Amino acid sequence: AQSVTQLGSHVSVSEGALVLLRCNYSSSVPPYLFWYVQYPNQGLQLLLKYTSAATLVKGINGFEAEFKKSETSFHLTKPSAHMSDAAEYFCAVSDSGGGADGLTFGKGTHLIIQP
């Protein structure tokens, strides 16, 4: 069984500051890892994904994440926060054995940007 833990249901940063959203996973097989963003009243949009290639993954809107197997982590970062980054962020995992079972999501982190 696989699981995802996102530390901090709410994260608040100042505009221009570093954004760090934490994600730890548990999987019995090599995982595929995803970060999705959800803006109010919208569906989920893929930010980036890790599929066993480069451990540092760059995504849209200036976000990136690093896969660290030893720490079972896939934290999301952005060097400089923008007001438009305010949204809900979900980390998700699917195992390499089969994609048909869908994704396992974390509970989400609400990112608040202070002006």
Residues contributing to the site for other proteins (CB under 8 A): 4, 9, 32, 34, 36, 41-46, 49-52, 90, 94, 96-108
Find the shortest distance in angstroms from Cβ 94 to other proteins: 7
Q: Are 29 and 69 in contact (CB under 8 A)?
A: no
Find the shortest distance in angstroms from Cβ 34 to other proteins: 8
CB-wise, 73 or 94, nearer to other proteins? 94
Find the shortest distance in angstroms from Cβ 2 to other proteins: 10
CB-wise, 18 or 46, nearer to other proteins? 46
Backbone φ and ψ of 77, nearest 5°: -135, 155
Q: What is the DSSP letter of 18?
A: P
Q: Can you tell me the distance from the alpha carbon of 81 to that of 103, in angstroms, rounded to the nearest whole number?
A: 27
Go through the chain and tell me how many residues it has: 115
